[in-house]
Chains A and B, each alone.
Chain A
Amino acid sequence: MTDRGEREKLKNVEPEDMLVVVERMRSVPRCHPRLIFRVRVALCSLFPKLAAGRTERRVNPRGSKAWSPALRLAAGAAIGVLVLLIVFTGLTVASRSTGPGDSLYFLKRASEKLDLAFTWDSVRKARKNLNLADSRLTELDHLIEKRSLDTEKITEAAGDYAARTLAVTRMLRQESGVPAAGEIAKRFDAVKTREQEIEKRLAAAAGPESTLAPATGALVTVTDTSGRRSIGPGNSVFNGRVDGKAEFAFSVDLENREAARGLEARVELDGRTVVVPVFPEAAASQAGQYPSYTAKVEPEASIVRLDKPQLFTLTLTGHDVASAANRQVRLRETTSTGLINGSTGEAGLVTDYYGRCSFTFTKTSTNRVSRITLKVLDGTWSDLGEVMVVGGVKTPEGNTDAGGVVVKSSGPAAGPQRIDFDNGLVHLTAGGTVAGRFINNITRVGMPGKAGPLDDPAVAGEGGVVPAGVKVTGPRLLFANREAAGYEVEYLVPSGNGSLRKTHRVILEQGNAYATINSTLENVGDNARSDNGTGSSLEIVQLQMPAGSQTNVSGRPGGAATIDKPFQVDFDPGRPYAAYNSAGSWVVLACPVDSDIYPDAWTVGDHYIGADVERTALLSAGGRSLTTLIGITEKQNIESLVEKARKGSERPDAAAGEESAGDEGFFVGVAPVYNNLKKGRQHVTLTILKRYQKVFEH
């Protein structure tokens, strides 16, 4: 096979298929060496000469001197003790820089405990406990940096942190009168502040999928609220603890499947409690709520352009948080006028922990309204019907009466006009020769018998001529995420060092006899965001940073610098970032923006994506800023980085919502599912997980 042939083949690989296989390969856990081997490596690496000598001896054994047995024994014992001492001291010193999961970490912890055990003075002991608590936070910090978010490692460090801080709390409570108490309390506060920072970083780094850990040791009490059947061997209450595999099993005798409705599980761990129905579907159907899902697609009033993908977020809400989490859903476009995630027809998605999933919709055809329906897999596929409608309206024909058209914005009355806004195509016609503006600030009658927004009096002269240097783009067809459609015209007018971008959008909605207009004015050249007046979507088509803009690249000595060459980058509509390739490395430009899709708090910085990004740069001009990520080598990382940053910014609010809903950070899964339950004795296993965010005690 020639190189070219291979390259052609590689091009034809479907990236999604590749990713699935690659991700599954990456999910294979690493093989950890045995303790005895770890000790062997530690010894040999500490004393390479010894290891070399041993190997050489094995290959070329030397003869030994004829020592007497007693002398040999004594010498052997002495050498043995000496070697043990050296090895122990060496290993203890070497273990100081270890962290959870390292081979010598147990030695570090053992020596710390030894040190604490031989400290009798309570103040000194509290100080040591504080130092150790701080060390644990540093270890957690390193784990986050290394992205080594293994449950065991995290809980090992966090568990000891909790024990150390508890010891300090006790000391402060019992000996508040000692002179050093104030100083210790001050240091304790500093440690607790750091704890909060680490906890935030941990939550951000773990990501929604990785935030669950086995709730080992949680007390589970299963009760039958209906009192009709027995749980376990003749009891109506069964309790026990969650095992190391996050499982809790019990048996139940059922008269029939419906009899499982009254089963409730109460989960208690670390002072947190949650009560959930064991079979939520059964409980919901009992309450007449089934199907119990509602779905919302956001943004609701976003602008969709023809053949341009637009990002939407679907939020599924169930009767509790867990029921909408990790659900398989199917979105279907029923009119063949658009693409979901780039494909026609149907797209399968899985919701995240918060019941959300994102998808893109591309309007591909003007001739019909696009209708998107949703199904949710919950044992069987539940049909939630239409969740989204995009574009296309048809106004009554023959609307030639001026009285039939209401100009929403104020301005001189329009003459008799006809608006045909049919299947996404715009036809505006003014009757007679009456001069006047069709819609305020947008247009006027340019020629007898015709009207339209193509000549803007703010730009063009009275004669409707576009001055030299002004670029007019449009009209472009637009569709909104509702039964509405419209168009957009854009003018780029030279102004000073940069230019002014004026954008006009005309939207006509089903049932309304009037059009609404959004007009924006943007100073291109010294800013990085636009404002369309509604805040519902973001439009940045082009960003120009003029010479003289300030840049501040991380890690550069001397702080901010001034760029000497202007640069320009194109943004996709609706997405506040752009990417371009520079010398083989992908650079992402991202803007903090106000938008429904990308909340104000949204930023892309090294906080979330440090391991993937070489440097970050903050560019600012005219009071606006732009974050630049430099040194990403794989293009596929870009989408995931931005997605990760987006999720990171959403999580705190989402988490707060769950707390108030009483979820308390537990995830409870059940096997078998309700639909597979049978009459008679059933063995039920609950899988109970807790969230990482709660790794610290409060």
Chain B
Amino acid sequence: MGTRTQEELLRQLVIRAREGDKRSYGKIFRLCYKDIYDYVIRRVGNRSDAEDLTMQVFMQGLKSVSSYEERGHSVKAWLYRIAHNAVVDHLRARRQSFELDEVQEAAADTDVLADLLAREDIGRVYGEVADLPPAQAEVLILRFMEDMSVSETAMILDKKEVTVRALQFKGIKNLRKRMEGKEQADEGPEQQGDGEMKKPR
């Protein structure tokens, strides 16, 4: 029942925040920022970028909360949507500058989720998700790592529900193939070194 209670609390807070109560908005963010941060870091793969983007989501949400409209989705999903847009902008900008600054970028990425990768198996799953086509990866991350429903995922990504389901299906299928391939490779005579983190897209 915990999730439901939190959702009700968020709804009450957003009503007050919409009327200009900034402290209520602050409380909303305090309740949600860990999830937002988790989502953002999975997408951008870099701690300092994730922190900056999370704060950007905070500011963007603060600006637009007055025009927030209840459309059958959770308050958290609304923040996720802001986060998604921020991530897309960020990744687009990063791609443009990537060629110019490739070395620096790669160095920055080495600290990505190092603690996750310490657990090889889990790190492998994350690495495989990050290696999927971006549209599939973002659906899988939202659906199974952030526990968003299909309709919420569709709202966040601005896609139709049927598209989300199709991407989810393809993503799982791809992921299963990759994981099976990897497991077979690992059963070989020598284990492949996997010390390098795959860069999320």
Contacts and interface: CB of A to CB of B under 8 A. Distances in A.
Given A44-B58, A46-B23, A48-B23, A10 B169 contact: yes
B67 to A, nearest CB: 16
B125 to A, nearest CB: 5
Interface string A514-544: 0000000000000000000000000000000
Contacts of B34: 30, 32-33
Interface residues of A, number: 45
Contacts of B113: 31
Given A33-B34, A145-B2, A25 B145 contact: yes
A609 to B, nearest CB: 10
Contacts of B41: 31
A13 interface: yes
A51 B58 contact: yes
Interface residues of B, number: 44
B116 A28 contact: yes
B29 A45 contact: yes
Given A30-B38, A34-B47, A41 B169 contact: no
A41 B162 CA distance: 36
A26 B30 contact: no
A296 to B, nearest CB: 33
Contact of A45 (B26, B50, B51): B26
B144 A22 contact: yes
Contacts of B37: 31, 33, 37
Contact of B51 (A9, A28, A37): A37
Interface of B, secondary structure class, is: helix
Nearest to A44: B58
B126 to A, nearest CB: 5
B165 A25 contact: no
A641 to B, nearest CB: 14
B175 A21 contact: yes
B54 interface: yes
Interface string A11-43: 001000110111011111111111001001110
B23 A26 contact: no
Given A29-B116, A30-B34, A48-B25, A6 B2 contact: no
Given A25-B144, A31-B116, A40-B55, A48 B62 contact: yes
A83 interface: no
Contact of B166 (A1, A55, A94, A147): A1
A3 B179 CA distance: 27
Nearest to A104: B30
B125 A25 contact: yes
25 contacts: A6-B165, A9-B166, A18-B172, A21-B175, A21-B179, A24-B125, A24-B179, A28-B126, A28-B129, A30-B38, A31-B41, A31-B113, A33-B54, A44-B29, A44-B55, A48-B23, A48-B25, A51-B55, A94-B30, A142-B2, A145-B1, A145-B2, A146-B2, A147-B2, A611-B2
Interface of A: 1, 3, 6-7, 9-10, 13, 17-18, 20-22, 24-34, 37, 40-42, 44-49, 51-52, 55, 94, 142, 145-147, 606, 610-611, 614
